[in-house]
Amino acid sequence: MAIARIPMAQGLCALCPGGANFRAAICQEEPSKPLTPLKNSSRRGRRGTLPRVKFRDPEGLLRALAGAPLPAAVVDLAAFERNLDRVKAALAARPALGLRVGSKSLRVEALIARLAAGLGARYAGVLCYSARELGWLAGRGHRDLVMGYPVVDPDDARRLATARTQTQVCAMVDDPAHLAVLSAAAVEAGVVLDVAIDLDMAARWPTRRGPGLRLGVLRSPLESVKAVQRLAGQVAATPGLALAGCMGYEAQIAGLRDRVSGRRVLAHALVKAISRPQVRRFRAEVSAALRADGHRLRFFNGGGTGSLDSTRDDPSVTELTVGSGFLGTALFQGLDALDCEPALGFVLPVVRRPSAETATCAGGGYVASGAGGPGGRDRWPVPVFPFGLALTDREGPGEVQTPLVGPGARGLSLGDRVLFVPAKAGELAERFAEYHLVRGGTVEARAPTWRGDAATWG
């Protein structure tokens, strides 16, 4: 079904700044033609999808890193704590609702520990993205670890089963084929391994032709209540496994910004308005059906930073996951669900002046994953201080150098330092061995990332 044949979808995509990328990444349709770069010169820098990002005290962050070798990554602890307070305030209406920390967006044990302490009784544990990561965290005393993605490697299944001897662990499945490898590992380790079922939370845009346009990402194949019931029954009948929960991540709500460059995006609002009632109804139907079948779930996980409000209000959900909202990176600005502020950045030195209007920094190619908006520009890091800087369309953020233009570039000299905010949070930790945790213009601590702990999992 070609999207061009759906008049309402045509209007939807025309309104979306992502254009063809929106069809490919969110609607699961292929772009009809190659993407066209934004028509702005390198002198003017990029525009159109530029997030409005600003630290409260950028001078203090640069002052704290005055003697640090560059590039360096920095966390504004005061901003981090204010974001935590914002999350807690958003959840205040449901005091029993748990909050699980998404490790892939943090990848720094010291930050996870600070969140666990700050959340108190609301802290539900960690949502992990790798079996090796989960095993490493279990060995370091972390409790209640949920593996957010299925495993098929027997060694990964053994890691989960071994971790189960140390703490509460839950594996994730969405296919009967996932069960055998988990069962073998659990039986071998002499444990009963909890299992959660991952649901397909994509919504459908109704059309007169066929089932409608898919709004969501390609995760789980479990798009019906009966399919979930069948898999739940298979889990219950499999030696060494026990059904403990469900997870449903509504990416088409959590992953779309409500405002871009300060302007409200009608296309995203339409997707969210269509998706919210469908997501809520599917969760309620799954919960009721599993209860009727005699299953007793320990948890029902949902959401992310961008769906904090609607997931919070879903009575089927017992816990939700937040990660990037604590660090407030560029792609998480402009959300109605959580008005977070930047807390994570990195600093590069100016090493070249190709012209009076251009300053070039060393390094900087920390581009986020995902299809993104036009040309992928919203996946680029954003230079935020000194003010008045922009990346160029021609080069963007480079592997070994990043040219900057704009009014702020004229005043930069060799050796000056430029503060950036990454588009996404977690991947930056794979480029740095440590984060400088800064408060009031001084470094309070230097916290190793997963990479700094010699523990990387892809």
Q: pLDDT tens for residues 400-430? A: 999 999 999 999 999 999 999 999 999 999 9
Query: Looking up tokens 């959590």, which residue turns up?
Result: 254
User: Distance between CA atoms of 300 and 325, rounded to whole angstroms?
Assistant: 20
Q: Report the chain's mean pLDDT, rounded to a whole number.
A: 89
Structure confidence at residue 264 (pLDDT):
94
Q: How far is CA 118 from CA 276, 313, 318, 321, 419, in A?
A: 29, 22, 19, 15, 28
Tens of pLDDT along 275-332? Answer: 999 999 999 999 999 999 999 999 999 999 999 999 999 999 999 999 999 999 999 9
CA neighbor of 205 nearest in space, from 338, 27, 17, 458 = 27
Structure confidence at residue 40 (pLDDT):
30
Q: Where does 43-149 have alpha helices with state H?
A: 58-64, 77-90, 109-119, 131-139
User: Distance between CA atoms of 196 and 302, rounded to whole angstroms?
Assistant: 12
Structure confidence at residue 261 (pLDDT):
82
- Residue 400: CA count within 13 A, CB half-sphere: 0
DSSP string across 235-286 = HHTSTTEEEEEEEE--HHHHTS-SEETTEE-HHHHHHHHHHHHHHHHHHHHH
Count Cβ atoms below 10 Å from residue 438 Cβ, excluding itself: 26
Is the distance from CB of 381 to CB of 331 less than 8 angstroms? no
* Residues whose CB is less than 8 angstroms from the CB of residue 168 and which lie 6 or more positions away in sequence, other chains included: 125, 143, 144, 145, 194
User: Distance between CA atoms of 178 and 249, rounded to whole angstroms?
Assistant: 19
* All domains in the chain, ordered by first residue: 41-77+339-458 (2.40.37.20), 78-332 (3.20.20.10)
Q: To 10 degrees, the CA torsion angle through 405, 48, 22, 32?
A: -80
The DSSP call for residue 368 is P
Structure confidence at residue 457 (pLDDT):
82
- The parts of the chain modelled with pLDDT lower than 70 are 1-52, 210-211, 458
Structure confidence at residue 262 (pLDDT):
84
Is the distance from CB of 247 to CB of 314 less than 8 angstroms? no
Structure confidence at residue 88 (pLDDT):
98
* Residues whose CB is less than 8 angstroms from the CB of residue 145 and which lie 6 or more positions away in sequence, other chains included: 125, 126, 128, 134, 137, 138, 163, 167, 168, 169, 170
The DSSP call for residue 227 is H
Structure confidence at residue 271 (pLDDT):
94
Is the distance from CB of 111 to CB of 84 less than 8 angstroms? no
Structure confidence at residue 206 (pLDDT):
76
* Residues whose CB is less than 8 angstroms from the CB of residue 306 and which lie 6 or more positions away in sequence, other chains included: 253, 254, 255, 256, 257, 332, 335, 337, 338
The DSSP call for residue 216 is S
User: Distance between CA atoms of 22 and 29, rounded to whole angstroms?
Assistant: 9
Structure confidence at residue 209 (pLDDT):
72
Report the predicted TM-score, pTM, of the whole model to 2 decimal places.
Answer: 0.89
Structure confidence at residue 142 (pLDDT):
97
Q: To 10 degrees, the CA torsion angle through 334, 340, 341, 347?
A: -90
Q: How far is CA 458 from CA 116, 123, 316, in A?
A: 24, 26, 33
Structure confidence at residue 50 (pLDDT):
46
Tens of pLDDT along 83-116? Answer: 999 999 999 999 999 999 999 999 999 999 999 9
Is the distance from CB of 252 to CB of 271 less than 8 angstroms? yes
